[in-house]
Chains A and B, each alone.
Chain A
């Protein structure tokens, strides 16, 4: 029974994420925000949802919100390339500024 429940939960998360991504790709950002938030209610560790919310907030010129989302993404996946690149860009760090 546990396994079936777990499986259903995952499927629902995936379905909502699919809808959120659909809105995102069609630049329907307000709708995408609502859906990605639903994804996070179902799974508060969904990396993709945090990162996508970061991208949306960045695009909506809400840098503080975007930073929070990228930071959450990197807490869950410290090597996330998209979040790293966009967070650096928001703060103003150049990628090749190694020294």
Chain B
């Protein structure tokens, strides 16, 4: 199967991180920025790095943006440039265009001119951080669908020493435990104490819950909220 080709326009922190990650995952990555220093810096971590003006149609065409399967426009700070670049890339006929946005208006305009997906990394991160500060026992939260979430939660004290069945997490709280993460102490090769994380995927009803275990649970958002409030 041919490698997928990605273009990343705008190599700030978000753009360069995504370009490098895609390249690490064996994708063909064309990285573009107007700043030569930034382009030189990333050149060894992507397939091709090119200096080009994101608002100049000819430059982008010469860079090979037309041949990309997906283009990520990550020029969040300069909305005008971001919008122009999106227009040009859509005009090229690129099938999938992802635009990093900084505001709701930015995303609305991007969607109007044909962006296939808009992302708000700062907003998403802020929501995640706020969640973790308000509910320190919730370690990770992923929205599955409108009503269902997947969360990593520290095992409540009254669950410790019980099996999953005895804890009543399914019957009383309506939540399903899909994995248990446990920190296991050990002595490493250098003879020093260390802790490794072991994951019990799809645990059975008779599996034990120990103190400090992290439970990965799936359930309705309302049930998760109730569970959070009671523990």
Partner of B185, one of A27, A48, A60, A86: A27
Known: A25-B185, A27-B185, A55-B185. A61 touches B193 (CB 8 A): no
Interface size class of A (residues with CB under 8 A): 10 to 19
Residues of B within 8 A of A60 (CB): 212
Q: Are A27 and B193 in contact (CB under 8 A)?
A: no
Q: Are A82 and B212 in contact (CB under 8 A)?
A: no
Q: Are A48 and B192 in contact (CB under 8 A)?
A: yes
Residues of B within 8 A of A55 (CB): 185, 193-195
Interface size class of B (residues with CB under 8 A): 10 to 19
Q: Are A51 and B41 in contact (CB under 8 A)?
A: no
CA–CA, A82 to B210, complex, Å?
24
Interface centre among A27, A58, A99 (most CB of B within 10 A): A27
29 residue pairs bridging A and B, Cβ less than 8 Å apart: A21-B187, A21-B193, A24-B193, A25-B185, A25-B186, A25-B193, A26-B185, A27-B184, A27-B185, A27-B211, A29-B212, A48-B192, A48-B193, A52-B193, A55-B185, A55-B193, A55-B194, A55-B195, A59-B183, A59-B195, A60-B212, A61-B136, A61-B212, A81-B190, A82-B188, A82-B192, A82-B194, A86-B195, A99-B41
Residues of A whose CB lies within 8 Å of any CB of B are: 21, 24-27, 29, 48, 51-52, 55, 58-61, 81-82, 86, 99
